[in-house]
């Protein structure tokens, strides 16, 4: 049988082509180059793989968008109404606002998680930082951080208060604040004053004019009650362009229950402690034309010795008495219960004063055994003195710390 050689290949005597092996090797090399060379179809497959990876990374980002107002690094920001955090395409899960001392500003996330606002005003001249987190429908989180600084007010006010921090006072003592500027935004100011008591009791505030705010319970305080007042007035806009600059915590305790009842007709005063009469003292009250106020009056000031001049209370030159002993103020208009060394035999017999309640005493009050000194030594600021059966009307609730002469309904209104 004859065999035809492949073109270009010689055949030896045995009939086998001498170049057959090299041709096979070249064929194998050609396949190898084709496999590694990255032709058109191979290159397209590698690019699709990279695009899919980018899409997967993109899909991991949250769609939620957190917005913080005011804008980052803002200056002179208003202390009320300017701070807001919102979320779109998601819901807020955490909002933390801190001042430059690390104190947290309280606030609440709205139902549905679309917004957050502070539950109180901000302090003036203070830097705040905000950190907010929101989640989208897939549970992926988005966060935003910001900071800003509040305004520095040109005009400010404070509140002068009574009683003093750490004091023990009588059961009639309200917490009274007198502001150094007239207040035209009373709700904002009142909201900035919080009162907690132990045991708990409802305490409400009442405004007398636009510069005084008193707080009291419905009835006299219970003995032993501990009262904590927080004045968070820093940054409160009390009137247009006038801001509070005061932050103060005041604590006081209610002492034993002492209520003294003056009968202007019998000229006697019964002193009760915890509901029991401990002393009955002869007194003199306002003479005709100068009658003593009726009603519940609270001791607001104690003066061991003072001078009483009719010029200061609108009585001209009718009297000017020095070294008046053991005097305790009952009204802003000048009513006192005090020791009296000049009324002779009036005590327990007839009314001889210009409106005060007088008890027998010595000039300067050196005799501790007389009624004036005894009552002074057994009284504290906040004790109640009730006057009845006088010919004058009931004392005005705002004349001194005498809001007890107003019904609870009117007080709250």
Q: Which helix (H) or strand (E) holds 302?
A: strand 301-309
Q: SS3 of 208, please?
A: coil
Domain assignment present for 16: no
Contact indicator for 339, 365 with CB cutoff of 8 Å: yes
Domain-terminating residue out of 214, 237, 254: 254
Phi-psi region for residue 99, left (φ > 0), alpha (ψ -120 to 50) or beta? Answer: beta
**Based on the domain organization, do 276 and 245 belong to the same domain?**
no
Tokens 């400010």 sit on residue = 156
Ranges of the chain whose pLDDT falls below 50: 1-46, 54
Please give the Cα distance from 291 to 10 (Å, whole number).
152
Q: Alpha carbon of 277 to those of 79, 178, 244, 261, 273: distances in Å?
A: 53, 35, 46, 10, 6
**Based on the domain organization, do 196 and 96 belong to the same domain?**
no
**Based on the domain organization, do 105 and 169 belong to the same domain?**
no
Please give the Cα distance from 118 to 131 (Å, whole number).
13
Q: Give me the pLDDT at residue 51, please.
A: 54
Number of compact structural domains in the chain: 3
**Based on the domain organization, do 182 and 228 belong to the same domain?**
yes
151, 170, 156, 11: which is closest to 83 by C-alpha? 151
Q: SS3 of 54, please?
A: helix
Q: Give me the pLDDT at residue 40, please.
A: 44
Domain-terminating residue out of 229, 254, 279: 254
Domain assignment present for 82: yes
Q: Give me the pLDDT at residue 315, please.
A: 73
**Based on the domain organization, do 269 and 400 belong to the same domain?**
yes
Domain assignment present for 356: yes
Domain assignment present for 262: yes
**Based on the domain organization, do 248 and 236 belong to the same domain?**
yes
Domain assignment present for 343: yes
Q: Give me the pLDDT at residue 52, please.
A: 54
389, 162, 159, 158: which is closest to 298 by C-alpha? 162
> What are φ and ψ of residue 387, in 5° steps?
-110, 130
Q: Alpha carbon of 330 to those of 384, 386, 395: distances in Å?
A: 9, 10, 10
pLDDT per position as a tens digit, 17-47 = 444 443 433 344 333 333 333 344 444 444 5
**Based on the domain organization, do 199 and 129 belong to the same domain?**
no
**Based on the domain organization, do 295 and 243 belong to the same domain?**
no
Domain assignment present for 32: no
Sheet with 320-329, side-by-side order of all strands: 301-309, 320-329, 336-340, 357-360
Q: Give me the pLDDT at residue 406, please.
A: 98
Domain assignment present for 70: yes
Domain assignment present for 239: yes
The residue range of the domain holding 98 is 65-150
Give the domain CATH number at 354.
2.40.440.10
**Based on the domain organization, do 242 and 128 belong to the same domain?**
no
Contact indicator for 225, 201 with CB cutoff of 8 Å: yes
Give the domain CATH number at 220.
2.60.40.3710
Q: Alpha carbon of 163 to those of 70, 108, 222: distances in Å?
A: 40, 34, 16
Q: Give me the pLDDT at residue 50, please.
A: 52
**Based on the domain organization, do 244 and 373 belong to the same domain?**
no
Please give the Cα distance from 337 to 344 (Å, whole number).
17
Q: Give me the pLDDT at residue 241, please.
A: 97
Q: Give me the pLDDT at residue 159, please.
A: 98
pTM, two decimal places:
0.82
**Based on the domain organization, do 331 and 227 belong to the same domain?**
no
Please give the Cα distance from 334 to 399 (Å, whole number).
9
Domain-terminating residue out of 204, 222, 254: 254
Q: Which residues are catalytic?
A: 338, 356
**Based on the domain organization, do 145 and 204 belong to the same domain?**
no
Residues 6+ apart with CB under 8 A from 287: 350, 351, 352, 353, 354
């Amino acid at each position: 049988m004859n065999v035809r050689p492949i073109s270009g290949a010689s055949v030896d005597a045995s009939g086998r082509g001498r170049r057959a092996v090299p041709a096979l090797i070249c064929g194998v090399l050609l396949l190898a180059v084709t496999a590694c060379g990255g032709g058109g179809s191979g290159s397209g497959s590698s690019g699709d793989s990279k695009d899919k990876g980018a899409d997967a990374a993109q899909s991991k980002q949250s769609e939620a968008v957190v917005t913080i107002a005011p804008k980052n690094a803002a200056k002179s920001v208003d202390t009320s109404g300017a701070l807001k955090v919102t979320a779109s395409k998601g819901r807020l899960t955490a909002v933390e606002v801190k001042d430059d001392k690390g104190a947290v500003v309280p606030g609440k996330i709205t139902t549905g998680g679309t917004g957050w606002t502070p539950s109180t005003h901000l302090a003036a001249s203070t830097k705040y930082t905000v950190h907010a987190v929101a989640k989208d429908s897939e549970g992926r989180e988005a966060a935003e951080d910001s900071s800003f600084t509040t305004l520095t007010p040109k005009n400010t006010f404070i509140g002068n208060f009574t009683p003093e921090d750490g004091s023990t006072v009588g059961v009639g003592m309200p917490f009274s604040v007198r502001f150094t500027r007239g207040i035209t935004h009373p709700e904002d100011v009142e909201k900035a004053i919080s009162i907690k008591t132990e045991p708990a009791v409802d305490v409400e505030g009442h405004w007398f004019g636009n510069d005084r705010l008193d707080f009291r319970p419905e009835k006299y305080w219970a003995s032993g009650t501990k009262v904590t007042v927080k004045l968070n007035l820093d940054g409160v806009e009390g009137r247009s362009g006038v801001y509070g600059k005061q932050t103060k915590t005041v604590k006081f305790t209610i002492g034993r229950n002492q209520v003294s009842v003056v009968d202007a007709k019998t000229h006697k005063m019964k002193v009760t402690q915890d509901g029991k009469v401990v002393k009955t003292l002869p007194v003199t009250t306002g003479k005709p034309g100068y009658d003593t106020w009726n009603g519940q009056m609270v001791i607001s000031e104690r003066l061991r010795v003072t001078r009483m001049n009719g010029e200061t209370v609108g009585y001209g030159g009718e009297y000017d008495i020095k070294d008046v002993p053991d005097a305790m103020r009952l009204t802003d208009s000048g009513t006192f219960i005090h020791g009296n060394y000049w009324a002779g035999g009036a005590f327990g017999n007839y009314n001889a004063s210009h409106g005060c309640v007088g008890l027998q005493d010595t000039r300067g009050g050196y005799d501790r055994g007389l009624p004036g000194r005894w009552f002074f030594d057994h009284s504290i600021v906040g004790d109640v003195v009730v006057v009845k059966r006088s010919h004058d009307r009931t004392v005005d609730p705002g004349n001194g710390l005498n809001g007890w002469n107003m019904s609870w309904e009117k007080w709250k209104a």
